[in-house]
Amino acid sequence: MDLYEYEAKQIFGEYGVALVRGEIADTPEQAAAGAGRLGRKVVVKAQVKTGGRGKAGGVKVVEGPEDARAAAERILGMDIKGHTVRRVLVEEASDIAEEYYFSFLLDRAERRFLSICSARGGMEIEEVAETDPGAVVRTPVDPTGVTTSDALDICRAAGIPDRARGAVAAVIARLWDVASGEDATLVEVNPLVLTGDGRVIALDGKVTLDDNALFRHPERSGFADPHGTDEREARAAERGLNYVKLDGEVGIIGNGAGLVMSTLDV
């Protein structure tokens, strides 16, 4: 189950990851009210389960409630890569000195977790990985977990500056607690920022929870998103079935993922 940014940050906050103050808004009026409570400069961010929001115009830095209202009016209802924006997150604007990237993800091929870290975070991280692979450090995670010492080693390998290394390592250790404690298959922060006053803050958050482990986390059932699920997939799930919507005209009923995939290939 993929989470929205504000849901990921709710979990981050429970594990002690530093965040900026923010409020959810479903209407332009709510966005304006939230901006009034948060302060003069805020960021209005589309809440969709896909990347590329900034490039699509779904993230706006504005001054004051009226500008926040106008930004929310433009963003709500926007289509971003096939995802309709139904909610925005209004957050305090940050004084960003540097941007980093960090994630834990499940490496299914190797049957272990992998950490990915870069001192060059931000919107162009994919381009960085393609043009300068050495700037993106991939480190297998020991089955026993990630200690602060392990996190410091990751930071050194990725070239995180000395002035931020200790604080970034502390965040990495907490993000591992999120991944292991929540049975997540992905925990990503891009950007993880160093502010002008020396704080390290998660400005974004992306989390994917393992559906097979949700029985251990009934408190996360409220994160289920009816808008993000195909109607037929939802109806099948209610009956204990797995249904995957694909293109084409032939439907396959099978038992076992490998058998079904082989049949589809044929």
Instruction: State the catalytic residues.
Output: 101, 188
With CA atoms as reference, report the closest residue to 207 among 121, 104, 123, 129.
Answer: 104
Residue from 234, 211, 236 nearest 221 by CA: 211
| Residue 78, Cβ density class (10 Å: 0-12 exposed, 13-18 middle, ≥19 buried) | middle
Question: What is the distance between the alpha carbons of residues 264 and 102, in angstroms, rounded to a whole number?
Answer: 36
d(CA 71, CA 43): 9
Antiparallel, parallel or unpaired: β 200-202 and 136-140: unpaired
Phi, psi torsion values for 111, nearest 5 degrees = 55, 50
Q: How many C-beta atoms surround the C-beta of residue 265 within 10 A?
A: 6
- Within 13 Å, how many C-alpha atoms sit on residue 23's CB side? 19
Tokens 């009934």 correspond to what residue? 218
Among 33, 27, 45, 77, CA closest to 205: 45
Helix extents (H) in the chain? 5-14, 28-38, 64-75, 125-131, 148-158, 162-181, 231-238, 257-265
Residues 118 and 140 sit within 8 Å (Cβ to Cβ)? no
Q: Are 187 and 175 in contact (CB under 8 A)?
A: yes
